[in-house]
């Protein structure tokens, strides 16, 4: 049920940062949109903890909410790599906007593209490409890293399913019209009982609960979901009964590359601001950028950002080429999130006392960076994945 891979040959030793003409034009388009339309709203959205509705509409109009969705369904017909480019360029200006586009593309749309029936694709992909924000609902209060300890139940009611439970920390929940919800049809079966369901926001028994007050990416909504005898049509099972774990693992592996792209964009945006300020900040009669100690700190940050970027691009290229990418995705997510936290922290120091205030963007990038080590698999979970692949079964 997977969609065709784009034609892109990976040549051993080729520079992964080299973009095709189409990719470069796309990147420039997204970068211009981020600079001209997103940047003026960043401080306001962070303060109000809400994404600007017109901005979301513009993302749809630009085709950023359905990058991989084929043109026959109203999408852009692009590649996974292009989705990562979009997330990176948006996150360079505002990681909150970056993650909204990321979840839409790398989790929700990909789940439909790879596991939906033809009828489900006809029903939902055109909406996801043009008007409907999607959300991905796996986590619960007692099942974070142990994602399959979930307690949300799905019971067969004859002509429909009935879902009961509570989901936590769901990105895009406030804006979403459709949710991929994971529930178990048989708690005794462990992960083999987990099933994915397509739930629309107006289904009986479904509601969006508390919106979280967060440290960072504040414009991106994070809410709980309440399922109180929620009625879901039989036709809205995504994939097969009991195969939800497969959908979750596959989409999260792809989603981690998207989060890597978000962290790379954040690192770039933070460093750009920091370098500009070192040219302006005068100490001892000269800009601090002229001091070797500061130059070496900038150089270290630049090396870290480029290293993370290569890891993310490599994982995205492998995914598009339909080659194994599990380890590469985990490494990219692990290291890019570490780089984002390290670089944004250093940039706060470039600003001195101003870096600790909201008058400048340094503190926001620093706040936004922390989530990179947490969502879509904590750093410890990435280390576990990498270790298993390196050591093997022993």
Catalytic residue numbers read 376
Helices 95-102 & 80-93 angle (0-180, nearest 10): 160
Name residues whose C-beta falls within 8 Å of residue 163's C-beta, 6 or more positions apart in sequence.
152, 153, 154, 181, 183, 197, 199, 205, 227, 229, 230, 232
Burial track 31-69 (b if 16+ CB lie within 10 A, e otherwise): bebbeebbeebbeebbeebbbbeebbeebbebbbbbbbb
Name residues whose C-beta falls within 8 Å of residue 243's C-beta, 6 or more positions apart in sequence.
195, 196
Cα(203)–Cα(207) distance, integer angstroms: 9
Pairing of strands 222-233, 206-211: antiparallel
Cα(326)–Cα(12) distance, integer angstroms: 19
Residue pair 171/188 in contact by the 8 Å Cβ criterion: no
Cα(369)–Cα(389) distance, integer angstroms: 27
Cα(276)–Cα(16) distance, integer angstroms: 27
Helices 80-93 & 244-280 angle (0-180, nearest 10): 40
Cα(138)–Cα(183) distance, integer angstroms: 8
Name residues whose C-beta falls within 8 Å of residue 218's C-beta, 6 or more positions apart in sequence.
45, 46, 49, 96
Let me know the angle formed at the C-alpha of 100 by 98 and 101, rounded to the nearest 5 degrees.
70
């Amino acid at each position: 049920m997977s969609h065709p891979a784009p034609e892109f040959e990976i040549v051993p030793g080729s520079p992964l940062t080299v973009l095709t003409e189409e990719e470069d034009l796309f990147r420039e388009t997204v970068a211009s949109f981020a600079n001209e339309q997103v940047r003026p709203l960043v401080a306001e959205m962070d303060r109000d903890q809400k994404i600007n509705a017109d901005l979301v509409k513009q993302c749809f109009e630009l085709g950023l909410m359905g990058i991989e969705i084929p043109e026959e369904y109203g999408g852009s017909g692009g590649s996974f790599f292009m989705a990562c480019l979009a997330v990176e360029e948006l996150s360079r200006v505002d990681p909150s906007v970056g993650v909204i586009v990321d979840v839409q593309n790398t989790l929700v749309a990909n789940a439909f593209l790879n596991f939906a029936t033809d009828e489900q694709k006809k029903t939902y992909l055109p909406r996801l490409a043009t008007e409907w924000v999607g959300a991905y609902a796996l986590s619960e209060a007692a099942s974070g890293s142990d994602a399959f300890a979930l307690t949300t139940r799905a019971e067969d009611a004859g002509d429909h399913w009935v879902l009961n439970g509570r989901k936590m920390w769901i990105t895009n929940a406030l804006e979403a019209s459709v949710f991929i919800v994971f529930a178990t049809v048989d708690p005794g079966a462990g992960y083999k009982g987990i099933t994915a369901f397509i739930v629309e926001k107006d289904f009986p028994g479904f509601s969006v609960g508390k919106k979280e007050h967060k440290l960072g990416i504040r414009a991106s909504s994070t809410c709980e979901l309440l399922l109180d005898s929620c009625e879901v049509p039989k036709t809205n099972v995504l994939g097969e009964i009991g195969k939800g774990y497969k959908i979750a693992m596959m989409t999260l592996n792809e989603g981690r590359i998207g989060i890597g792209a978000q962290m790379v964009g954040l690192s770039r945006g933070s460093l750009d601001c920091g370098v500009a300020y070192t040219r302006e900040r005068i100490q001892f009669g000269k800009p601090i950028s002229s001091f070797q100690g500061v130059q070496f700190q900038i150089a270290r940050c630049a090396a870290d950002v480029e290293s993370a970027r290569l890891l993310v691009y490599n994982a995205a290229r492998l995914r598009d080429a339909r080659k194994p990418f599990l380890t590469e995705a985990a490494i990219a997510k692990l290291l890019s999130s570490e780089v984002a936290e390290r670089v944004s922290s250093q940039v706060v120091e470039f600003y001195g006392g101003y870096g600790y205030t909201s008058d400048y963007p340094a503190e926001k990038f620093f706040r936004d960076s922390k989530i990179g080590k947490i969502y879509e698999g904590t750093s410890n979970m990435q280390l576990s994945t990498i270790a298993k692949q390196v050591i093997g079964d022993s």
